[in-house]
Amino acid sequence: MLIQKKIFYLFEYSLIYIFCLFCRLFSLKTASAIGGGVGRILLKFVRNGVKQKNLAQAIPNLDKKTEHDILQKCDENFGRNFVEYFFLDRLNEESDLKVTIKTPEIIEHSQQNDRPKIVITAHYGNWEIALWAMGQAGISLNPIYRQMNNPYVNEMILKLRSHITEHQIKKGSTAGKDSLRILRQGKNLVLLVDQKMNEGVAVPFFGKDAMTPSGVIKLALLSNAEIIPARIIRKNSIDFDIFLEPPIEYDKSSPTVTYDTLLKINQTLEKWILDKPEQWFWFHRRWEKPFYQKQD
């Protein structure tokens, strides 16, 4: 690592660590509110053009006030999420945290068979708290994560998340093999399936082809896993609802099983986003670069 880059990473980590220590002086509820306020102030300056273009593609013809309200609530939600990372090691101690699984029958059905589960979700609500809550409900999930550029911050997040999951699988050349091993051991995965993948499959998303990660169906075919959609909705502050949906069916014998399954997944994501648009991560460049460039 270049010395200049190392110094920058250490400086960035130091700021985050100090902010973490400050937030942990308070309860999760208070710290989350602080994060929400910081998010409303700072995140409105982050990728605002990308957020507006994404929103216009997904929900066209919004009036300015509605667009502003959605994006402001989005900024607040992800400010809260950032701070809530600092509490992953002590969620069990937070008496104000309320997470309700609204579809317990899906969990009961899944527990009646020994097939491994691939739970699919999105950057929506607070997916890390969903990971913890699902474990509390008897379905332990193991995430696949993208390594952060800053190795010190990455190690901090891995350490905090280790309190709510058994295995963390790093994206990369060995992720597929590691994930398949977990599934064949009868354990479960959780995948965030809403972001662009260069090596994905072009599948419609809000009426425009988007490169969609195909790993979920590849793993399911090799392990006979159930694909279960799940989303967590932030109702207010640190009060959440989790909704699971019946497993997405896939036909192993179909020559178009990958495309068909990914289309069902994208349609599920669309439904969630249209229901609670303020809960989704509008910052991400979901479509190809020309989509953003040609509208500048």
59-77 pLDDT, tens digit each:
999 999 999 999 999 999 9
196-218: average pLDDT: 93
- Predicted confidence band of residue 188 (pLDDT cuts 50, 70, 90): very high
Tokens of 60: 């066209």
Q: How confident is the model at residue 294 (pLDDT cuts 50, 70, 90)?
A: low
**Would you tell me how many other CB atoms lie within 10 Å of the CB of residue 31?**
23
pTM recorded for the entire structure: 0.93
Q: How many helices (H) and strands (E) does the chain have?
A: 11, 9
Please tell me the distance from the alpha carbon of residue 204 to that of residue 50, in angstroms, as a whole number.
19
Structural domains of the chain, count: 1
Distance between CA atoms of residues 189 and 168, nearest Å: 10
Q: Which pair of structure tokens corresponds to residue 233?
A: 């909705």
Please give the Cα distance from 7 to 176 (Å, whole number).
33
User: In terms of residue numbers, what domain contains 153?
Assistant: 3-293
**Which two three-digit tokens encode residue 21?**
């220590």
